[in-house]
Amino acid sequence: MTAEPVDGHDLDAVSRQLGRPARSVAAVAHRCPCGQPDVVATRPRLDDGTPFPTLYYLTCPRAAALIGTLEASGLMREMTQRLADEPDLASAYRRAHESYIAARAALLDVPEIAGTSAGGMPDRVKCLHVLVGHALAVGPGVNPLGDEVLAMLADWWAAGPCAQPGEPSE
């Protein structure tokens, strides 16, 4: 994971993006071309002690809305079927799952979620937001389905930051 330390400005931006206080953020895992965080690395154990398997959390509401439209289109079902039909894709997706688990364990080993990644990996697709967050955080070539979804998205950042200081997110 190529992550940046998180500061108060980043936490404020993420809170505005989410419409709630950011919680248990370990780092900024990716920045949108507009400069705002769009993926954060979340601690695998939340501050209240709850295990949290989603390491890479997509925070940008514009990207999340576009991905939600893709999810509603039936894309997850199609991708899950492709995992059954395309052994090379299934193998690459399993490697993405293993990469995800290793990165999270490097942050903190949480026995309750050992072996569990997120987004349905390694056998199905149940959340495109997680796959895109992973793909953005680690770069192209690691999560093949996350890369595919990213290629389908419009330039969500083109209109500028999704949340300005002192303003609620869109």
Residue 165: pLDDT band with limits 50, 70, 90: low
Q: What is the pTM of this model?
A: 0.92
User: Which residues lie closer than 8 Å to 140 by C-beta, 6 or more apart?
Assistant: 147
Q: Is the dihedral of CA 58, 40, 106, 134 positive or negative?
A: positive
Residue 169: pLDDT band with limits 50, 70, 90: very low
**Percent share of the chain, pLDDT over 70:** 95
CA angle 58, 3, 157 (to 5 degrees): 45
Checking if the pLDDT of 61 tops 60, the result is yes
Instruction: Give me the residue spans of the domains in the chain.
Output: 8-152
- Strand order of the β-sheet with 56-58 is 25-31, 37-42, 56-58
Average pLDDT (4-9) is 87
